[in-house]
A and B are shown apart, each in its own frame.
Chain A
Amino acid sequence: MHIPDGFINAPTSLAAGAVAAGGVGVSLRRAAQTLQERQAPLAGLVAAYIFAVQMLNFPVAAGTSGHLLGGVLAAVLVGPWAGCICVAVVLVVQSLFADGGLTALGLNITNMAVVGVFGGWAVFRLLRRVLPATRPSVVASAGIAAGISVVLAASAFVVEYALGGTGGVPVGTVLAAMVGVHTLIGIGEGIITALTVGVVLGVRPDLVYGASDLQAPLVLRSQPGPVPGR
């Protein structure tokens, strides 16, 4: 999913750079307002974990592989604002590894840190609203939203290719191929995301931002019996 230099022309890359800067800028501001003390080390861990798992390409079809993008995983664990920053940090660090072109950094942040995180988060929120308020629902919602977020990020690439692709390949051809292969990759994304969210929910449910609504009723529930002080 990492776009190298050259696929997309300079004006489109610049425009995506503006979108990326805007998305990350707003996320920085909102995260600064909302991030709780204990979430800072957790957000650092989420970024490091995504970097690690992005290295683990899994085979999806003959001669094709895919890897985690991590947008929904980050958003569900630390919230969409911090999540966007986590993925952007990963993409910046990956430049040191010659992964994703420097002139394409704005495109890649737009696709994976902005569209992948906020698009996927919107799907997650929608699913949470439809499904019952239980931990299995959180895991399922995270997995499904993660899978869809990969297709959304791939579609964002197709939009960029339509606007400024240098290869001259028909957009419909690119769209069909990108959505097809990234639907398969999305299945892997969904499984890894659901597994990770499931494990964290099992160990420290209070650290899962996307399940914070499940905490309150548990804490407030009172034992039946005499009320003290009456």
Chain B
Amino acid sequence: MRSSNLRLFVIAGLLVAVGLALVVSGFASSSPDGLEKVAGDKGFLETARDHTFADGPLADYTVEGVDNERLSTGLSGLIGVLITFGLGLALFALLRATRSRSGGGKGSEPTRAP
């Protein structure tokens, strides 16, 4: 009973996250963030190099080939939320598994984020 409640909570929470990333993200401020603004004002923004994946299919929260700006941002957000949830779920399930095997002891070193 409790666990199906939890499943419902997680699904509802995920829907909220998807809604925010898919729809609300298109209305977010496009002004530079705090660090970028400071870097620009104080004159060290030009020391930034292009990102390794600057030409990647999801660069700058857009989906390559989708021209509508809000839709492109929204779809990239949806993809990001799903990847993050999947990766998080897998990682934490793995952590749980290492504990179950080692009976709550130290266990083997789990895979580390790069």
A residues contacting B by CB (< 8 A) are: 1-7, 21, 24-25, 28-29, 31-33, 35, 37-53, 55-60, 63-67, 82, 85-86, 88-90, 92-99, 101-102, 105, 109, 154, 157, 165-169, 173-174, 177-178, 181-182, 184-185, 203-204, 207
Contacts and interface: CB of A to CB of B under 8 A. Distances in A.
Interface residues of B, number: 73
Chain B contact residues: over half helix, strand or loop, or mixed?
helix
Contact of B92 (A25, A39, A182): A39
A215 B52 CA distance: 47
A92 B114 contact: yes
B96 to A, nearest CB: 5
B71 interface: no
A44 B89 contact: yes
Nearest to A29: B106
Chain A contact residues: over half helix, strand or loop, or mixed?
helix
Contacts of A21: 112
Given A97-B59, A154-B34, A55 B96 contact: no
Given A44-B86, A57-B33, 6 more contacts: A6-B47, A35-B99, A52-B81, A55-B80, A63-B31, A94-B80
B88 A43 contact: yes
Contact of A97 (B17, B80, B96, B98): B80
B66 interface: no
14 contacts: A2-B33, A5-B50, A6-B48, A7-B48, A29-B107, A51-B80, A55-B77, A89-B113, A90-B84, A93-B87, A101-B49, A166-B47, A167-B47, A178-B38
A86 B89 CA distance: 10
A63 B109 CA distance: 45
Nearest to B13: A45
A47 B88 CA distance: 7
A28 B37 CA distance: 34
Contacts of B6: 38, 41-42, 204, 207
B56 A48 contact: no
B30 interface: yes
A47 to B, nearest CB: 4
A45 B92 CA distance: 11
Contacts of B2: 38
A24 B112 CA distance: 8
A92 B38 CA distance: 24
Contacts of A92: 87, 113-114
B91 A89 contact: yes
Contacts of B80: 51-52, 55, 93-94, 96-97
Interface string B45-66: 0111111111010111100000
B64 to A, nearest CB: 12
Contact of A178 (B34, B76, B88): B34
Contacts of B41: 177
Given A38-B3, A88-B113, A165-B44, A60 B34 contact: yes
Given A38-B3, A48-B88, A96 B83 contact: yes
Contacts of B17: 45, 48-49, 51-53
